[in-house]
A = this chain, B = another copy of it.
Amino acid sequence: MVHHGRARPAAHAVPAARQRLPAPHHAVAPSARRGRVMTRALPGVVSLLTDFGLSDPYVGILKGVIAREAPGTTVIDVSHDVPPQDIELAALWLEQAYTWFPPGTVHVCVVDPGVGTARAALAARAGEHWFVAPDNGVLSGVLAREPSWEVRWIDAGALRLSVASRTFHGRDVFAPVAGRLASGALRLSDVGPEHAPTLHARRAPRVEKGEAFGEVIAVDRFGNLITNLPASVLEGEGVTVEIRDARLRSVGTYAEGELECVALVGSFGLVEIAVQNASAAARLGVGRGEPVRVVRGAP
């Protein structure tokens, strides 16, 4: 499926200099463009986001397959500690991470509870990035953000993929397709027929009459509570953020909340609740899904 619509306003910070390069296999090294070295094909970048963990050899095997398909590719781990089968969190991390990668990066996301069933395997282009993932909604955040995208169904038979197992399509389908896209050996148009992807509507925050209602959508390693509320709800003087029984003031940076939990705009451009050098999640005893309310007036 090809989509040329209007993207919703990006809630997150956008990298400064987005280079406009047409496709991974046309990318050239910046130094080449400055005339320092001869023009040559640039090995691509592949990012990986899975729920495989790092204890078992599964991630290493993915990378072995990519090294076989596309020697010299730079492979970057976004995370492999997505809780097993947690499509919603994977969609969030993918949406928040991909814009910081070079244009032309192929992002592989394998959180795949339906592996081996009839669910489709997808390859997609959205904006200047490529994606390879099962058709289970994990691309929802990315596709909601990009005005222009194209999604295709991976036809494993036509691509002569050797699908050796019904339980590890990361190895047998997603990694080889990602490697071939990154190396330029495969074009998106040759992956398979167009496909209408599964899209999950995210529970959007509600803003009305100077109040905003959202929720905690992730808790990071530091115990910071990441909400789905955009930065704009903290604008202006005298804002209070309510969560559980706490009423928090809005500050500019973590260091202002040494003894108390505070609310601030985090690195994804979303409201976060934090306490300096400690865990707000532990302090407040809350986690994902906890309602958050922003009201006018000092705490």
Binding site for B on A (CB under 8 A): 13-17, 19, 29-31, 36-37, 40-43, 45, 47, 49, 52-61, 63-65, 67-68, 71-72, 74-81, 84-85, 93, 96-98, 100-102, 105, 113-117, 160-162, 164-168, 171, 183, 218, 220-222, 252-255, 264-267, 269, 272, 276-277
Question: Which of B93, B117, B255 is A253 in contact with, Cβ under 8 Å?
Answer: B117
Chain B residues whose CB sits within 8 angstroms of the CB of A76 once the complex forms = 60, 63-64, 67, 75
Q: Which residue of B lies closest to A118 (CB)?
A: B255
Tell me the complex Cα distance, A162–B14, Å.
9
Residue among A58, A162, A168 having the largest count of chain B Cβ atoms under 10 Å = A58
Question: Which of B19, B72, B255 is A74 in contact with, Cβ under 8 Å?
Answer: B72
**20 A-B pairs with C-beta separation under 8 A:** A13-B164, A15-B68, A16-B160, A29-B72, A31-B183, A45-B67, A45-B71, A56-B93, A56-B218, A57-B79, A59-B77, A60-B79, A61-B97, A64-B105, A75-B76, A113-B276, A115-B254, A165-B267, A167-B253, A167-B272
How distant is A78 from chain B, measured CB to nearest CB, in Å? 4
Contact A253 B100 (CB under 8 A): no
Tell me the complex Cα distance, A167–B254, Å.
7
Contact B221 A14 (CB under 8 A): no
Contact B84 A64 (CB under 8 A): no
Contact B277 A64 (CB under 8 A): no
Contact B167 A264 (CB under 8 A): yes
Q: Which residue of B lies closest to A74 (CB)?
A: B67
Q: Tell me whether A116 and B267 are in contact in the complex, defined as CB-CB below 8 angstroms, given that A45-B67, A57-B93 are known contacts.
A: no
Contact A47 B74 (CB under 8 A): no
Chain B residues whose CB sits within 8 angstroms of the CB of A68 once the complex forms = 15, 19, 100-102
Tell me the complex Cα distance, A117–B97, Å.
25
Chain B residues whose CB sits within 8 angstroms of the CB of A162 once the complex forms = 15-17
Contact A84 B222 (CB under 8 A): yes
Contact B267 A221 (CB under 8 A): no
Contact B64 A97 (CB under 8 A): yes
Tell me the complex Cα distance, A114–B257, Å.
11
Tell me the complex Cα distance, A164–B268, Å.
9
